[in-house]
Structure 1
Amino acid sequence: MIKANSEASRYQDFVSSLINGEQRSSNIDTLVELARSSDEYRYLEDFVDFVDSGVQKSPGKIASDESNAVEFMTIHKSKGLQFKVVFLSNMQHKFNTADETSYILMDQANGIASKYRQFRETDEFGNVLVEYENPYRNLIGKAIHKEAIDEEMRILYVALTRAEKKLVMTAVIDDETRLIDLAAKVQANESDPNRASNNTVIFNNHLRKVNCFFDWIMMALMRHPDIENDLKSYIPAITPNLDLRRTGFKKLNNEETALARFHLEIKSLTEITSTISQKQTLDAIDQYHQVQDYYNYVYPYQDKERSIAVTKLQALADEAGFEHLESQSSRREDALSLGTLVHNVLYYCPFDETDFTTLIARLKDEGMFTDDEYQLIHQYQHHLDDFRESDVYKIIAKSTFYKEKPFRYFNGEQVINGIFDIVFIHGDDVYVLDYKTDHITSSNSYKTLQDKHRIQLETYKEILTKQFHKPVKGYVYYLETNQMIEV
């Protein structure tokens, strides 16, 4: 009885192996591919422990020849699989070099390093951030590049060994000069007097300097007579660059390569599109008609900027015919700089008992101003002192206030950008105040000053009204003349 059961068990295992043979074969292929591509486990004991740990133990994928379908997959996903015909496409795609070009480089074996940056004062551009190379960072970058190229070579090996009968490789290039340049590199390698005649076929250094599969493949295939003839037929100008000695190729002619055949085709975009069937062309036209409204869409605010500063809205209105302010006769070359300095001082103003003499001195000590800027703001300080004695300053001091708050607001046509100089809440009322350093005369009428900044303040009030859900009062304060205008 025991013997009979043993025979039955062996028979059952034999039948099971026949039924699942294809799956088991695929599992073995997957295991072999995993062992070949795993540099991390270089000793058998470590690799066995890795497999026993249960990592990546999913069954190998079986590629069916009877499915009558084309399978799309990445090269990584194709490990362990084989197909009668394989297309390797998009070979001109550049390798990803982001890991070796970032500001800070990290490598498990070599550590971490970054470039050195320093601010330097220049006469022409002011304070400029200067970046210096770090030799050790460059060494880490070379190590990362070496590992990346090694990995790309392993990936290409996997791609080239998936086909059983036919491998079709495709790439897109801008023009034929790309091939002529590659042929020149191949010829330079062949004519190097320092290279032994039966030594390496391709310089390792040449290969590692290119950055895509296409260049690797072409530098190798250009040495094959079939490809050489095809290239000379398509691109006669390449002929002088394919005068090769071929002394190092003899060892490649063996039993394994005797039946290998290569063929190259170069087609222009026009030739490729001309092969598209008429039906496909009509289908594409029908699809276009379906979305034609989207293609013909015209932006209704074509003459307007998508995003605009709130101050520019007022400038455009001024050009349309608003009455202009009367300015003082003296020119102030540094008006823009002064305006920035004044706003910086008012940003740090605590609206308490601190006077502007103390505040400006403290900002100077903290490096806020250069000597020239300090002199400029010091000359203007009496206007700030007048503002400190004003009624609105005293009201702000007793209020809840927000200084230099940026905003972005869509008014239905454009995105408006700006900064509130100061928004303050006193009692139940909300106010917005905008400081102006315009060098104006005191003879300007109240209405002129109102009109000058009406659009800007009306926009401020509209935005804040939606924010606080109550009416907002807007004011402009002219520091030059110690005047406050309600808009």
Structure 2
Amino acid sequence: MLCNQVQETILQAISKAYENGPTQFMVGDVKQSIYKFRLANPNIFIRKYNAWTKATNFDIKEKNVCVDLSQNFRSRENIVNAINDIFTQVMSPKLGGITYDEDAKLKVGNLYNHVEIDQNLISDKVEMHLIQTNFVEQEAQEANEISEYISSHLEAEMVATIISEILKGEGNPKKIFDTDLKDYREVQPRDIVILLRAKTSAAYFEEALVKRDIEAYADTDTSFLEANEIKFMINLLQIIDNPLQDIPLLAILRSPIVGASLDDLVYIKNVAPKKHFYICLQKYLHENSYSEEGSIVSLRRFYNLLCSFRTLNTTITLEDLISRLYTESGYYRYVGMLKDGKKRQANLRLLKIHATKYEERVETGLFNFLQYIKKVDKVGDKFEQAKVSLGENVVRILTIHKSKGLEFPIVFISETQKIFNTRDLYSNILLHSELGIGVKYLEDNFRYETLPFSAIKQAIKHENLSEEMRILYVALTRAREKLFITGSVSSYVSLLQKWFKYGNRNEEKILQIGLKTNSTELNWIGNSIVSLKNVKNIVYNDNANFVFNGNSTWRIKVWNENEVQLKQSEEKLNNNLKELLNQDYTIDYSGNKDKIYDRLGFLYKYNDVINLLTATNVSRLKEIKQGHMNFEQIKPEPKFMKKNININGAAKGTLIHEVFERVDYLKCQSRGELQNEINKLINSNKLSPEVKSIINYSHLEAFAQSAIITRMRNATVSFKEKSFVYLLDAQTIDQKYNDEKVVLSGAIDACFIEDESIVLIDYKTDYINKQILEKEIDRIKNIYQFQLDLYGKALSDILDLPIKEKFIYLYSINKWVKME
């Protein structure tokens, strides 16, 4: 009897009848057991694998013998090595199911060197591409959704750019080995696949590829309601019914009909970060009422269209509303010009038919129709959507589960930064096949976790993480010739710090706590990479981030938003260059005389605030407030013009402030620790060597061990060198300014949250005359009270917490001063 996939519970139950009968050959790979949701139980395999005798040669009469078939006849050597690099570090009996030892490791079985070819034309490395989004994070759920939406789009654009370069022969690889031809050939779209953990973002990747004239097929079980043109119209109808829906509004703004860039969305959101995006859009357009910039004109045109249709919605039928939307928005004509345009237009006509039938048979009104669409979508869409054949020459976008059992020459594993889904842990009742049932205890309308519930919750969490690790293994082993790993991050430096926190080059395995708390595919891979023996150094820049010793299998690149958008702009410029050159730019100036006189004679209504700075810092605001603002900027004297390069008082202050900024005084407390930390920073060129000659280690040690820093060390949340931008009422400077605003920028030296209040800290290096200490402290308070008041107000508004205390640390005399 042959029993395939021995970890499957059902097959195991069937095969029990043959346990004492004919010989069984059971085939399975616990590393690829990824169907827990179908009740697949990898423990069946693991128990047999651990109990049975391992052998390479055996007699068929022997019983309970385990044979490891570890040769990989699919992937190139660099891919096999990369997979082994990762799973040697992360997979263990505790997480993943088995020890990834020499028996479990993949061995290269597919040799590509039987056909000669220039090695520069074929795959040489496994590549990781990360895009740094630089999106201003907000605590509000709407802002997080917007951030995730923008990140997914940026990553999709990055991946599409890489694929475009490969298909043009500009990327790597330029050629792949065709198993049918038994020879190398150029890369075609059908050779490429993008693998995602879930299908929610597949449409973004498909859209990014189609924009570059690359045929793409997203295997998302796309139904009628999930077709791009139908989703667009549903989104548009949703915001006509209620514009305070951020995700539908963002989708429309990013569509070709409006054409807002990602930068535009960020600018709009930052107008009022805590408000709905529609409110932000209204304020943004109001602030730019007279702007004729292209993007603002497009946004204004869309806003006017939206307002007119919101009014029409109350006066005409749903059928007429949709018909007018098709014509007046131009969307019906637009989709007709796309690939599969006739099919797309047919879908739009079908949507109007469904709306008409609904209004005739059930209820009238846009709101009721949208509720009906939601219900249909929730229970499973009954409207079928045509699919593209998998045999077509297209780039395919699949879920990892759908890719199991398949192989592809070039594989992109994308959105690896996404946190694993843990929704099944938040039920009030948990079930486990071995531990039984766990129920929360209910008392006074509150539910509490019981001991059995907590035990089952931890077991399920552990099993889910093991499943995610096996899913990652399946994804990585789909690639034959080239493997790309992609993701998006808000801060690459912070990501590296996480990786090095748990990655350990002196141990064979990464700490389990790191794998469980850093639970994303990207972090698991990153922890493994920084743990490799041949990682030499880390360089913080946008391109060559890792330096490897020897012949590494890895290449890593970090992209930024501008780089992706620049490549998009270049493509648009190339496509539209002829059209721009052939346009008639002749301007008719007749009839403009009166307009010119009107503009020349225009008297600005708010002339009294012309000299008010719109963006400034605390020092300049203070000078304005005191009435002696000097607008002349004195440029510093270049080094080569200075006769004596001595460190003056101001330069010393700057250097000392850099010490406080760079040194981790929450971690380093003793004089020895502080000296070692400063030496490391000097050696890594993060501090100037002159620091050694001016720093007072006694004062620095006393500062690090002071009661206030101890409080900061014990606080749940603390910040150092936190930059901020804050919209300040101009009345703070002068009461004559009524409703004007000034953008205040600054950097807070340190602060921490204690008892749900903020404690603010500022370092000062001013000279203090100890002979008149009390007067000097009063002088310091007078100088800096205004600054700390503004910083406190800004910080309190930003964090939505009250200010508890404000302190200044006087470095020159090692003294803390409490401010009002």
TM-score, structure 1 length as denominator? 0.37
TM-score between both structures, scaled by the size of structure 2? 0.23
Q: Which has the higher contact order (CA 8 A, sep 6+)?
A: 2
